[in-house]
Amino acid sequence: MADESFREQFQESFSKRGVADRSYTRVSVSFPVRFMPVSKEEADRLRQAYAQRPSRERSETAALGSSPAAAQATPGTVSAAILAQLDRIERKLDRLLNAQGPAPEGGKEKSFETGQCIDLSGSGILFTSKWAMGKGWFLKVVVDIPELQGFSVVALGRVVRVDQEPDSSLYVTACRFESVHEEDREELIAYIFKRHREIAQMRRGQDEEQE
């Protein structure tokens, strides 16, 4: 994982924000994240499209493929069964959409790479990948929140920093959200605060067990 000094550098890479800005609140999480480099011309188009409509109202979200959320659930639980059923439904929808015509953006969704999220905020995401990207690159980023009632946020990001993990072939990429609909941002922030509460409750439980 990235060390603390890199995390601090990542936070400083974002524009200066007041401490009351909730989008700056971060949480350490680990789940798959999908990303795809795009050209400046494509980024200009996505910037406007993503600012106008939330992810759930954009047809591209349904065509991006099933979320890896089902893989995050514990096998044998009710949530795992529900997520597995939702995954099957999504796959059927994908096949129907593909049968109706070409996939959005000429099938570019097939070029998505998968990384692992390290931490997340309403302003950006830190994740690992198998190859290095350049500072300033534009990325289409798909954040699939692995909750029982999970959701996907598709945003335009821009790489602000890349570093290689010590003793690893993985690269750590700091990506700022250049364009994300405010409803999507609010959903991310709500999830982040939920995770903070869950972490706090877990720590309190551990402290009580040690007493």
By percentage, how much of the chain surpasses pLDDT 90?
47
Residue 61 amino acid letter: T
Contact (CB, 8 A) for 168 and 102: no
Per-residue confidence at 140, pLDDT binned at 50, 70, 90? very high
Integer-rounded Cα radius of gyration of the chain: 18
Q: Is it the case that residue 101 has pLDDT exceeding 50?
A: no
Per-residue confidence at 22, pLDDT binned at 50, 70, 90? low
Could you give the dihedral angle defined by the CA atoms of residues 78, 84, 87 and 89, in that order, rounded to the nearest 10 degrees? -90
Contact (CB, 8 A) for 156 and 47: yes
> CA-to-CA distance for 60 and 65, rounded, in angstroms?
9
CA distance to 67, 152, 173, per residue, from 57 (Å): 16, 11, 28
pLDDT of residue 106: 41
pLDDT of residue 13: 45
Q: Is it the case that residue 196 has pLDDT exceeding 60?
A: yes
Per-residue confidence at 89, pLDDT binned at 50, 70, 90? low
pLDDT of residue 131: 87
Residue 26 amino acid letter: R
> CA-to-CA distance for 35 and 49, rounded, in angstroms?
17
Tell me the pLDDT tens digit for each residue of 105-134: 444 345 899 999 999 999 999 999 998 999
Position with higher pLDDT, 158 vs 74: 158
Position with higher pLDDT, 208 vs 26: 26
DSSP character string of the chain: ---HHHHHHHHHHSPP--TT-GGG--EE---EEEEEEE-HHHHHHHHHHHHHS-GGGSHHHHHT---GGGGGSPTTSHHHHHHHHHHHHHHHHHHHHHHHSPPGGGGGGGG-EEEEEEEE-SSEEEEEESS---TT-EEEEEEE--STT--EEEEEEEEEEEEEPTTSS-EEEEEEEEE--HHHHHHHHHHHHHHHHHHHHHHHHHHHHH-
> CA-to-CA distance for 17 and 23, rounded, in angstroms?
9
Per-residue confidence at 165, pLDDT binned at 50, 70, 90? confident
Position with higher pLDDT, 147 vs 110: 147
Position with higher pLDDT, 120 vs 63: 120
The two structure tokens encoding residue 20: 């009351």
Contact (CB, 8 A) for 154 and 49: no
pLDDT of residue 129: 93
